[in-house]
């Protein structure tokens, strides 16, 4: 009997770390269900692409909830991994860091909906499919979730800190079912989310004196979903070239 193809649901798949993760899992033979606000891009070479894409605004939690049956239909009741990767990091008009006082409650809520609540709602809705596969969840946190960062807003930092706590709680709740839950906290990874001034910050603060590559994060995500990581749960793995030493 042939082995069932593994399935991952990945949010924020359209660029940056998410796009590198699609490439990595696809090369490893996984079926990748992608989520982003845009429709499927026909330039993507994946054969089953449009059928594997869910167009969804994660800021709209009613829409996320409503998408669950559609996602479950696509997974046929089995899900081997959920990667909550989509994230937004608001900036001031000139590109600066918004403090606790710069953003309205509505702005904070939007950040928390995308960075935190969407991942929770997906985990709640997809729990049974993850349990059926003894799958795993990975939440993409940030170095800003554990220390004040010169460019990341207070809303972003606190949403990522909440995601760390959620990772621990989910790992505790789901441990007995065999579902593993981990977080990955990147430092400065070369994507469009970075602010001006990151190159200088890297020179000053990162022992490896370079930014990370999206592929390096994707490789870690792939490892955490692989049979080589079956006793790792409740962990938050830093990937930052030594920025936190
Ligand atoms: N790059 C870094 O240095 C760094 C450092 C620490 C943590 N992180 C975290 O790593 C994750 C990926 O970041 P990245 O650097 O790859 O960012 P990115 O290049 O800006 O990509 C963000 C992704 O999130 C999606 N997204 C944003 N808002 C969305 C929404 N409302 N609904 C659905 N999808 C949405 C975007 O898709 P569409 O816009 O196409 O919808 C895009 O695919 C984020 O959680 C980020 O906080 C990154």
Query: What are the pLDDT digits (tens) for 25-35?
Result: 999 999 999 99
For the chain, the first-to-last Cα distance in angstroms comes to 49
**What confidence score (pLDDT) does residue 48 get?**
74
Please name the residues in contact with 80: beta carbons below 8 A apart, sequence gap of 6 or more. Answer: 6, 7, 8, 30, 130, 133, 135, 136, 225
| Tokens matching residue 200 | 């200088």
What does the alpha-carbon distance between residue 17 and residue 44 come to, in Å, rounded to a whole number?
Answer: 16
* Confidence category of residue 1, pLDDT binned at 50, 70, 90: low
**Gap between the Cα atoms of 83 and 232, Å rounded:** 15
Number of C-beta neighbours around residue 196 at 10 A? 11
- 202 Cβ inside 6 Å of ligand 1: no
User: Cα of 36 to ligand 1 centre, how many Å?
Assistant: 10
Report the nearest atom of ligand 1 relative to the CA of 14.
43
- 230: buried, middle or exposed (CB in 10 Å: 19+, 13-18, 0-12)? exposed
Q: How confident is the model at residue 221 (pLDDT cuts 50, 70, 90)?
A: very high
Closest ligand 1 atom to residue 84 Cα is: 45
User: Ligand 1 pocket, 189 CB below 6 A?
Assistant: yes
What is the pLDDT at residue 2? 66
Arithmetic mean of pLDDT over the chain: 96
Which residues, in sequence order, are CB contacts of 165 under 8 Å at separation 6+?
A: none
Question: Longest C-alpha distance within the chain, in Å?
Answer: 59
Among 11, 12, 44, residue to substitute to test ligand 1 (most atoms within 8 Å of Cβ): 12
Q: What is the pLDDT of residues 160-172, one digit of tens each?
A: 999 999 999 999 9
Q: What is the mean pLDDT of residues 218-233?
A: 98
Which of 9, 10, 16, 54, when mutated, tests ligand 1's pocket best, judged by the most ligand atoms within 8 Å of its CB? 16
194 Cβ below 6 A of ligand 1: yes
Query: What does the pLDDT read at residue 41?
Result: 80
The helix-helix angle for 214-224 and 16-27 (nearest 10°) equals 50
* C-alpha to C-alpha distance for 188 and 194, rounded to whole angstroms: 7
Q: Rounded mean pLDDT of 113-141?
A: 98
Q: What are phi and psi of 100, to 5 degrees?
A: -60, -25
Tokens of 197: 């001034």
203 C-alpha to ligand 1 centroid (Å)? 24
Delineate the domains of the chain, giving CATH numbers in brackets: 7-237 (3.40.50.720)
Whether 85 is in the pocket of ligand 1, judged by its Cβ within 6 Å, is yes
Catalytic residue among 105, 156, 222, 231: 156
Beta carbon of 18 within 6 Å of any ligand 1 atom: yes
- The CB of 37 under 6 Å from ligand 1? The reply is yes
Whether 139 lines ligand 1, by a CB cut-off of 6 Å, is no
Positive or negative torsion for Cα 31, 34, 39, 45 = negative
Q: What is the pLDDT of residues 170-195, one digit of tens each?
A: 999 999 999 999 999 999 999 998 88
The yes-or-no answer on residue 105 being catalytic is no
pLDDT score recorded for residue 30: 97
Which stretches does DSSP call E strand in 113-244? 136-140, 180-186, 236-239
Q: Please tell me the distance between residue 87's alpha carbon and the centre of ligand 1 in angstroms.
A: 4
């Amino acid at each position: 009997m042939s082995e069932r193809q593994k399935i991952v649901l990945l949010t924020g798949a359209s660029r940056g770390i998410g796009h590198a993760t699609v490439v990595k899992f696809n090369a490893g033979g996984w079926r990748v269900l992608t989520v982003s606000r845009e429709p499927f891009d026909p330039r993507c070479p994946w054969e089953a692409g449009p059928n594997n894409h869910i167009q969804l605004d994660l800021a709209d939690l009613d829409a996320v909830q409503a998408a669950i049956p559609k996602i479950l239909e696509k997974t046929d009741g089995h899900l081997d991994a959920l990667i909550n990767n989509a994230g937004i990091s608001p900036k001031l008009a000139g590109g600066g860091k918004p403090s606790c006082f710069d953003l309205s409650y509505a702005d904070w809520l939007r950040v928390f909906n995308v960075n935190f609540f969407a991942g929770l709602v997906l985990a709640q809705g997809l729990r049974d499919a993850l349990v059926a596969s003894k799958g795993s969840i990975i939440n993409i946190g940030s170095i800003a979730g554990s220390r004040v960062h010169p460019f990341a807003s207070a809303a972003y930092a606190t949403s990522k800190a909440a995601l760390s706590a959620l990772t621990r709680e989910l790992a505790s709740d789901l441990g007995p079912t065999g579902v593993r839950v981990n977080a990955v906290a990147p430092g400065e990874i070369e994507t469009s989310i970075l602010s001006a001034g990151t190159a200088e910050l890297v020179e000053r603060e990162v022992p490896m004196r370079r930014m990370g590559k999206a592929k390096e994060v994707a490789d870690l995500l792939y490892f955490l979903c692989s049979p080589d990581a079956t006793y790792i749960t409740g962990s938050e793995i830093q990937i930052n070239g030594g920025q936190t030493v």
